[in-house]
Amino acid sequence: MAQSRLAEPALDIRPIAGNIGAEVHGVDTSRDLDAGTVAALRKALLDHLVIFLPAQTLTPEQQLRFARRFGEPMIYPFVKGLDDLPEVTPILKKEEDRNNFGGIWHSDTVYQDEPPMGTMLYALELPPFGGDTLFANQYLAYESLSDGMKALLAPLKAINISGKGKVQQTRTDMMKHASAGLKGDELESCHPVVRTHPETGRKALYVNVAHTVRFDGMTEEESAPILEFLFNHQIQPEFTCRYRWSEKALAFWDNRAAMHYPVNDYHGYRRLMHRITLTGDRPFQ
């Protein structure tokens, strides 16, 4: 008789909004997790697009080991990682800084030919208030479009750049003290406007105001009206959740179908997170 497959353990999953985001309780990510728990966490990620694991106690080495259970960590191109662990990038806003890193709606590094599949962010130092992060479900952003708009977007590809003006500004304070040597405007990609998720098979809208500048084969002026509509459409409140960080919370989001926006409302206070991004693949329609 064939041996039955072991069932994945039941996780304590608590959604934080109707369409995206869930906290997962009772998992210690500093430990060597068994394959069943890793599979259950991956399913939770695919179901909710971003999962939050509060009250974790992680060294950078432990965070990196946990990340490797889900993919291959990659090095962020513009900001230095830790000296001994370059895949772990400190995301720091100092008390005197005015710009928070990445403070605009975006998907991570879509200007790369193979953008990351996901990102993990671990909270080390938090301000006494503010500093929340918003997330938006891009499956719903696509699925709620009219049939006519879906047909229009289906064949289109978009040009994404690393140096679009607003996102450049969000990097200025971090790059003063942690630049990896690039100016910030060197990278460009061309990806489908609507991508198919390689694990779920669902379609997601894949443009964002931080990096998308035009449709392939069109000028910026020709592209602007439709892109402006999409940028506003894809962050409707019904598609989003807002996460209030607690110290030592770990977030893990699916960069292929979720966007995020760190809120810059804590001037005069420090905020330090450790970020790891996981290698992805080339988006396809």
Q: Is 191 marked active-site?
A: no
Selected catalytic residue, list 42, 48, 106, 271: 106
| Whole-number Å distance between alpha carbons of 87 and 92 | 16
Q: Is 177 marked active-site?
A: no
Selected catalytic residue, list 108, 173, 197, 274: 108
Neighbours of 96 (CB within 10 A): 9
Q: Is 106 marked active-site?
A: yes
| Whole-number Å distance between alpha carbons of 40 and 42 | 5
Q: Is 214 marked active-site?
A: no
Neighbours of 1 (CB within 10 A): 3
Neighbours of 269 (CB within 10 A): 16
Q: What is the DSSP letter of 185?
A: -
77 touches 174 (CB < 8 A): no
- Beta pairing partners, 253: 50, 119
If DSSP codes are grouped into helix, strand and coil, which group holds residue 255?
coil
Phi-psi region of 181 (alpha: psi -120 to 50; beta: other; left: phi over 0): left
Backbone angles phi, psi at 85, to 5 degrees: -140, 80
Selected catalytic residue, list 48, 256, 260, 274: 260
Q: Quote the tokens at residue 267.
A: 């001037």
**Between β-strands 22-25 and 50-53, what pairing exists: parallel, antiparallel or unpaired?**
parallel
Active-site residue list:
106, 108, 260, 275
